[in-house]
Structure 1
């Protein structure tokens, strides 16, 4: 869907003076693949095993090797930046040289890839606590670089950092209009990878899916 947003921090020079102004451009909201319908998400949520989260003992992001080579000189992050951006141009090393990215978490639009993080919708640490601690390294690598499901999305960097490894009972996107989609993505990932949910998490997801 093409929407119009305001890009912050655009610079205009008038009579030799740099002025901070806003530029309005058309941008496409990031849309990962495989987002289920609300009905499917609600059904899949009831099928998830409900139990208390496990321990973080032994966890390390290094146990989820990510941003691996995806061919054509591109790593996973660069593939998602190209997928989720608008008019993205890349150099020979696949790093974007121009483009814009709308973060659906907070409805902000950015024109520098350094302002954009690639979020693991279900964070790596959450996955560890809910089943991934027993996976092989190869399984965790596949999870951390999953381009086939709604697990990776380009969003505002500081919003992603505020989220950290929190589940939906602890953190939700600032844009309430995205809660339905976020819950659908979260459930889809947990269902695909057979991860568990705790009671508070399931309650929050049920409420968010009720907005659909």
Structure 2
């Protein structure tokens, strides 16, 4: 009788297996919209800069390929190169060729490039990241899941921008404005970061003018 009872439990477990199996992961949806429409999707909030330090965002980490010896910065430089650099021991990069889209400057020395957070770490902190876990802030600071998040630009452009939003800084190259604003807004939507009214007003000038046909593509990070 015990043997039959045990077999019965086993059969019951098998019959219930489809019911108790783990739920499949929910697929992430990529959204495509216009810059003007994307502005209406951004939450609006006053910025909170208190307590910010760069140390709150761990970067650069080991990158996507944990075994290649390259950190996130190096991997972005390799991915964005117009002409691939030589990759030496400990992922030391040399030669190669890049074009900084902010100012259309050609660069052949990786040490003269900055890998820039499109939405700077200070801006991210003030726009909602101050309430994130350390793990989420690290993911943000090393985000290679969207081309807009991290870009290779000249050191001069990076220093000029610093932590400013589009109300305070735009790329010096006019033809880069629409791409930059698309990258900015898509990054904020990807990470559910808020914007302040002055920032939105500055972007709206372009969204309703020269950038009205610019697309914004993003996949939200949950």
User: Where on the TM-score scale, by shorter chain, does this alignment land: which range?
Assistant: 0.7 to 0.9
Hey, what does 1:68 align to over in structure 2? 61
CA–CA distance in structure 2, aligned partners of residues 92 and 207 of structure 1: 48
Equivalent residues in 2 for 1:42-191, closer than 5 Å: 42-54=36-48, 56-70=49-63, 71=66, 72-88=68-84, 89-149=86-146, 150-191=148-189
1:92 Cα shift?
2.6
1:103 Cα shift?
0.3
CA–CA distance in structure 2, aligned partners of residues 161 and 200 of structure 1: 22
- Any conservation in 2 of the 1:50–1:197 contact (CA below 8 Å)? yes
Larger Rg: 2
1:105 Cα shift?
0.3
* SS in structure 1 of the partner of residue 170 of structure 2: coil
Query: What is the root-mean-square deviation of aligned Cα atoms in Å?
Result: 1.6
Please list every run of 5 or more consecutive structure 2 residues that lacks an aligned counterpart in the other structure: 1-29, 212-222
Equivalent residue pairs, number: 176
Q: Provide TM-score, normalisation by structure 1.
A: 0.79
Hey, what does 1:196 align to over in structure 2? 194
Please list every run of 5 or more consecutive structure 1 residues that lacks an aligned counterpart in the other structure: 1-34
1:36 Cα shift?
7.6
Greater percentage in helix = 2
Hey, what does 2:17 align to over in structure 1? none
Greater percentage in strand = 1
